[in-house]
Chain A
C-alpha cells in the first residue's frame, strides 16, 4: 500500500493538490476536513489518495470537529492534517489552543481568502497572518510556513510536518488562494531524498516517563495511546506528568515552555530567501504569492542598476527578527507589499526600531500587486 504515498516524478498540479501530496510524502495518514473554498481541493485530493495508502480520510461536521479529530489522531500515533480557509480557521481556534497546550503535533493548511467573515470566498487574501500567530487565547509559540508556489506547497507541507513532530505542536501552512489554485510543475523527488522527521518516542521505562517534561527548550518525547505509558492529556495547566495543577508556579513553567520552545529554537526554524541583499538600499519584504511579484520587481530594478533586494519570508512565524534588525542598519527603507492592512509590516516596523523606514503596500484582498507598483514605491526611497 505504501508505495503510492510518494508519487516520485514530475506533476502538473495546483497548490492545493501539492499540499495534499506533501502531507502524504511526510507520512500523514489521517485527514479530517470540511469543504470550504478555496481549500476544498486539498480535502478532495486526500479523500481520493488516503485510502490508496492505507490512511483515513474523514469528513467532519464542521471545522471545530475537524481540528479536534486531528488532535485525537495524533495522540493515536499517526501524523494528521486538516485544511481550511478563513471562516473555518476561525472555528478551529479553540482546538488549536488545545493542541498548543497539549503539545500535539499536527498540520493545519490554511489557503487564505479575503476576510473578515465570509469576505471573498473565491479570491486571495493574506490577512490570517496575525490570527495564526495570536488567534487562540493565551500565550503559545507559533510556527507558520508560507509557500509561494505549488512546488513549495509540497516542500513546505513536509517541512511543516517535520517541525510539528520536532517541536510537538500544531504547525500552520499559510498559503493563499493564488498559490493554492495556481497550477505549475511540481517535482516530487525519490523517497530517499525526502527528509521526514519521525516522532521521538520515550526511551525510558514506564515508571520514569514524564510526557510533559521539557529538556531545555525541547519538548519531551511523545508516548502515544496504547504504548503502555501513563499519559494524561489535558487543556488545563499541567505539570510534567500531565496532571492538572492550578497554580501560578506550574502555569509559569507550562506556558513558558510552550512559548520558549519556539522562541529559543527560532534560529533552527526560520527560513528566508535572500535575494541581492548585500548592498541593498531598499529591501522588499514579501511572502506567498506577493513574493513572486516582488521578485520580478527587484530583478527588473537590479538590471537597471538600482540597489534593491528582496527578503522572502518562507517561515512567517517565528519572525526573522535578527535578519531584519541587521538589515535595518544598512537600508533606507523596507517596502512591505502584502494582501492585508499591514500585519507583517507591523512586525517589520517593530524590529527595524526606527532605524529604517517601513513602507506598507497593503491590498485588502481580491487582487495582487503589480511589479510596477512595487517599483514605483521602492523608487521613492532610492
Chain B
C-alpha cells in the first residue's frame, strides 16, 4: 500500500497543445529557459502564425543553415528591426487578404527579440510598431544580457549583475550600476491594448497571456523573463527554480495591462526575500549586504507601486489609443 501511494500519476494537462513548432536538436545551451519560453509561446498560438525574429540567441541556435528548428514561417533580417519586419508582414498579409490572394483566415504575426534586440538597438522600431497600431504580438525573451556574443550587459541587465562589460571589481563594486529598464511599463505607456510580463516557470500563465495577446485588436507586448544558466552562472537544472524565485521574490512580478487596467497575475502572500533569488547566481556573487539591501528596497518599492497601479486602474473603463 505504502509503495503504491508514492507512485505519482502524470496526467496530461488539459488542453495542452502537443504539437511542437520549434523542433528539438537546436543548439541552445543546457537548461536554456529562453527556448522553453519560445516553445510555449508557439504552442499557445499554433501553426497559423508568422514569426519575425531579431538577431540573438534564439536566431543563432535555431537556424544554422541548412538546418532549421522552425515549423512555422520564420524570418530573420537584422538585429534592430524585428518589430519593423513584423509590421511589414502584418501589413502585407492584410493587403493580400484584401486582394483575395490568400484565404481570409486569421494569421497571428509575432515579432520576437532578446533584451538587447528589444530594449536597446530595436527600441525605436518597437515604438514605431506600437504607434502604428499593427495587430501583432511582440515578445521580448529577456535573459538579461547579450548572451549570444558572450554575456555583455544590456539596458535590461539588473543592477548588481556582473557581465563582461559590467565586470564587478574595485572601481565598480556592483558590476552593472544601472537599474533594469522597465520595458513592460514603456510598452503600456504607448496605450496599446495589451502588455504583460511572463515567465516560463509559470507556463500556463505565459500561454494564457499569449492567447490574450493574439486576441486583442492591435499591438500586444509580452516581456518574458528567461533564465540563462550560462550567463547567470547557475546550474542548468535550476532554470525553472530561479524563474519562479524571480517572480515570488517580486524581482520580476507577473502582471498584465489589459486596455489600461493593471492586474497582478500572481500575488504571493508574502514576497520571498531577494537573497533567496540572488543566492547561487554567479553573476551576483560579489554583492555585499549594502547592495543587497538596496535591491531589496527597490523591489519592495516597485511592488507597492505596482499594487497601487492595479488598485487605481482596476475599476476604470477600458481606454486605448490603438484599438481600431
Interface residue ranges, A against B (CB under 8 Å):
33-37, 40, 43-44, 47-48, 51-52, 57, 59-62, 87, 117-118
Indicate if the CB atoms of B165 and A36 lie closer than 8 Å: no
Asked if B88 CB lies within 8 Å of chain A CBs, one says: no
| Chain B interface residue count, Cβ-Cβ cutoff 8 angstroms | 24
A59 CB to nearest chain B CB (Å): 5
Asked if B46 CB lies within 8 Å of chain A CBs, one says: no
A87 to B169, CA, bound (A): 31
Q: Which of B155, B164, B170 touches A44 (beta carbons < 8 Å)?
A: B164
Asked if B79 CB lies within 8 Å of chain A CBs, one says: yes
Besides the known contacts A44-B152, A59-B152, 20 further A-B residue pairs in the complex with CB atoms under 8 A apart = A35-B150, A35-B152, A40-B149, A40-B150, A40-B164, A43-B152, A44-B150, A47-B165, A47-B166, A48-B167, A48-B169, A51-B169, A51-B171, A51-B172, A57-B165, A61-B123, A62-B80, A62-B121, A87-B78, A87-B79
Q: Which residues of A contact B80 (CB under 8 A)?
A: 62
Q: Which residues of A contact B55 (CB under 8 A)?
A: 118
B144 CB to nearest chain A CB (Å): 14
**Given the interface contacts A35-B146, A48-B167, A51-B169, does A118 sit within 8 Å of B153 by beta carbon?**
no
Q: Which residues of A contact B154 (CB under 8 A)?
A: 59
A60 CB to nearest chain B CB (Å): 8
Indicate if the CB atoms of A52 and B171 lie closer than 8 Å: yes
**Given the interface contacts A34-B121, A37-B149, does A47 sit within 8 Å of B155 by beta carbon?**
no
A181 to B164, CA, bound (A): 17
Asked if B120 CB lies within 8 Å of chain A CBs, one says: yes
Q: Which residues of B contact A33 (CB under 8 A)?
A: 165
Interface residue ranges, B against A (CB under 8 Å):
55, 78-80, 116, 119-121, 123, 146, 149-150, 152-155, 164-167, 169-172
Q: Which residues of A contact B146 (CB under 8 A)?
A: 35
**Given the interface contacts A44-B165, A51-B171, does A117 sit within 8 Å of B78 by beta carbon?**
yes
Q: List 25 A-B contacts (CB under 8 A).
A: A35-B146, A35-B149, A35-B150, A35-B152, A35-B165, A36-B149, A40-B152, A40-B164, A43-B165, A44-B164, A44-B165, A47-B164, A47-B166, A47-B167, A48-B167, A51-B172, A52-B169, A59-B154, A61-B119, A62-B80, A62-B120, A62-B121, A87-B79, A117-B78, A118-B55
A48 to B116, CA, bound (A): 21
Q: Which residues of A contact B78 (CB under 8 A)?
A: 87, 117-118
* SS class, residues of chain B in contact with chain A: loop
Indicate if the CB atoms of A61 and B152 lie closer than 8 Å: no
Q: Which residues of B contact A62 (CB under 8 A)?
A: 80, 120-121
**Given the interface contacts A51-B171, A87-B79, A117-B78, does A61 sit within 8 Å of B166 by beta carbon?**
no
A54 CB to nearest chain B CB (Å): 8
5 closest A-B pairs (Cβ-Cβ)? A51-B171, A61-B120, A62-B121, A47-B165, A35-B152
A179 CB to nearest chain B CB (Å): 19
Q: Which residues of B contact A117 (CB under 8 A)?
A: 78
B61 CB to nearest chain A CB (Å): 14
A5 CB to nearest chain B CB (Å): 13
Nearest residue, chain A, Cβ from B119? A61
Nearest residue, chain A, Cβ from B166? A47
Indicate if the CB atoms of B165 and A59 lie closer than 8 Å: yes
Indicate if the CB atoms of B167 and A61 lie closer than 8 Å: no
A52 to B169, CA, bound (A): 9
A61 to B155, CA, bound (A): 8
A37 to B150, CA, bound (A): 10
A35 to B157, CA, bound (A): 14
A341 CB to nearest chain B CB (Å): 22
A59 to B120, CA, bound (A): 10
Which residue, B164, B166, B170, has most C-beta atoms of chain A within 10 A? B164
B114 CB to nearest chain A CB (Å): 12
Nearest residue, chain B, Cβ from A46? B165
B138 CB to nearest chain A CB (Å): 17
Nearest residue, chain B, Cβ from A57? B165
A117 to B170, CA, bound (A): 39
Q: Which of A37, A44, A61 touches B121 (beta carbons < 8 Å)?
A: A61
B35 CB to nearest chain A CB (Å): 20
A123 CB to nearest chain B CB (Å): 14
Q: Which residues of B contact A37 (CB under 8 A)?
A: 149
A113 CB to nearest chain B CB (Å): 13
Q: Which residues of A contact B150 (CB under 8 A)?
A: 35, 40, 44
B7 CB to nearest chain A CB (Å): 50
Which residue, A34, A36, A59, A117, has most C-beta atoms of chain B within 10 A? A59
Nearest residue, chain A, Cβ from B163? A47
Which residue, A34, A48, A57, has most C-beta atoms of chain B within 10 A? A34
Q: Which residues of B contact A60 (CB under 8 A)?
A: 120
A121 CB to nearest chain B CB (Å): 9
Q: Which residues of B contact A44 (CB under 8 A)?
A: 150, 152, 164-165
Which residue, B79, B165, B170, has most C-beta atoms of chain A within 10 A? B165
